[in-house]
Chain A
Amino acid sequence: MERNDSQFSGGRRYKNDDITVYWKPSACVHASYCYRELLEVFDPSRRPWVDMNGSTTEKIIEVVNLCPTEALSWKWNDESKNDSVGSDQLNHIKFRRPELMNSNEQETKEQPVSVKIMADGPIVLKGNFTLSYNGTKKEIHDSMISICRCGVSDHMPFCDGQHRKAGFVG
């Protein structure tokens, strides 16, 4: 399935064929108009919480325009239509987030891989990285693996939980 959400330096954006909805989490005051009016699209309990296929473009625009902050805003994907949008479209980016007009919305700088040394346990790696061992290379996408740090695992280089039995401290 094609993803319709992605991250960029100004927050998150969600697309359907007609429009892009922008979400700026830091601006949200939880006025909750979005999910009270259109739970099919805006469902805080779901990830991603915005489903652009949940309703019509017209209805999504209507509900985004209800947001009292700049947390939710929108634009037409056809850029030529954005300049002529009228001020009745309260939450069009032109009025809410003018910095997004004509910006090229750089992708967020890629997330660093998280490397955690667990107390008396393994190394837990999380993110997008290349893992090389025993002469093989694997691309790991958005997932987590644990590498043995005590030296007694039966599944080297991966942790199999034996550090506890082994009484590993370090």
Chain B
Amino acid sequence: MDDSKENKSQAIIEVIDFGPLKISGNFLLKDLKRGNEESPVEVKLCICGKSGNKPYCDESHKNK
């Protein structure tokens, strides 16, 4: 039986240097703080803590 199919990578999760977490592919995003659920093709999530539009990146990481 072909097991590789079941373990196939479904999404690319990329930690961008000094930037956000970029997720693309087959994924389901659930925001437990705000109660949203969505499955976009791509999303950039804030991982620096500074975004004014959490959980999304708003490029605030570029500000000192």
Contacts and interface: CB of A to CB of B under 8 A. Distances in A.
Interface of B is mostly: loop
Given A112-B10, A119-B33, A130-B12, A107 B5 contact: yes
A110 B9 CA distance: 9
A151 B34 CA distance: 20
Contacts of A133: 14-15
B21 to A, nearest CB: 6
Interface size grouping (class) on chain B: 35 or more
A113 B27 contact: yes
Interface string A107-123: 10011111111111001
A170 B54 contact: yes
Nearest to B9: A130
Contacts of B13: 113, 125, 129-132, 147
Interface string B20-53: 0101011111111110000100000111111100
